[in-house]
Amino acid sequence: MSVRREQRYRVAAIQMVSEPELAPNLAAAERLIGEAARAGARLVALPEYFCLLGRHETDKVKLREREFAGPIQEFLAGAARRHRVWLVGGTLPLECGDPARVRSACLVFDSTGRRVARYDKIHLFGFSRGAESYDESRTIEPGTERVALESPFGRLGLSICYDVRFPELYRAAGEIDVWFVPSAFTATTGRAHWETLLRARAIENLAYVVAPAQGGRHANGRQTHGHTMIIDPWGEVIARQAEGEAVVAAEFDLDRIAQARRELPALQHRKLR
């Protein structure tokens, strides 16, 4: 079934500084989604770990939900319905076959609250420098399938945080109009690479990139980079927020994508597949 597209619409990326408890995070997300909707956003995206950035890596395992059941999924569906927006739900922990790990899942809901897509994070972050060390594979089971979906806002592609370092994921998905990268980049890696990687994915794919982020000092001592960004198909940053809670919004025009691809038909010039 074909989907009628809106040529022009408003998009919002939400920046958060999530806490180790679920309730205040859901309350903050509700408030920020509402703010975005009142400002005219039709498509809203939450950051990675919007529902919990725990004191311990295993906290998210304790919070895991069965697919299609649980307070986080109910919140996302309800928020999309209440505010009449399409909602890209950051990430939440879903059960997997390993009781010691979860799938880090990005769920998308339409404006009626119906779930229309699920993407499980494929690439799991690992980093070690001095006292700073991360290994997501200890508590997350990787996904295996790339996900794209048709929507009134064009063809949407889903990725999560560390995925942004793997351009083959994006290029192999074909022609995508809007890529989402909900993230919780560390301050260390974010300062060095965040903007460069996001702009590269937009430029390579001649697509909009929406990157809602965690941005601040968390109760577990972690400092996330923030700098939520929205980037146009030419690689220009058209909206951003450095730190703290915020709604970062921009107007999208699907004709801008078509124009960029006419002027620079790089996607048609590919030789290696």
Ordered domains of the chain (ranges, CATH): 8-267 (3.60.110.10)
Averaged pLDDT of the chain: 97
- Which residues is 121 bridged to in the sheet? none
Q: Model confidence over 161-207: pLDDT tens digits?
A: 999 999 999 999 999 999 999 999 999 999 999 999 999 999 999 99
Contacts of 240 (CB under 8 A, 6+ apart): 227, 228, 229, 230, 248
Catalytic residues: 48, 121, 161
The answer, yes or no, to whether residue 211 has pLDDT greater than 60, is yes
What the block records as the tokens of 180 is 């989402």
Q: Tell whether the model's pLDDT for residue 1 goes beyond 90.
A: no
User: Residues of the chain with pLDDT > 90: what percent?
Assistant: 95
Can you give the pTM of this predicted structure? Answer: 0.97
Structure tokens at 272: 């290696």
pLDDT on residue 196: 98
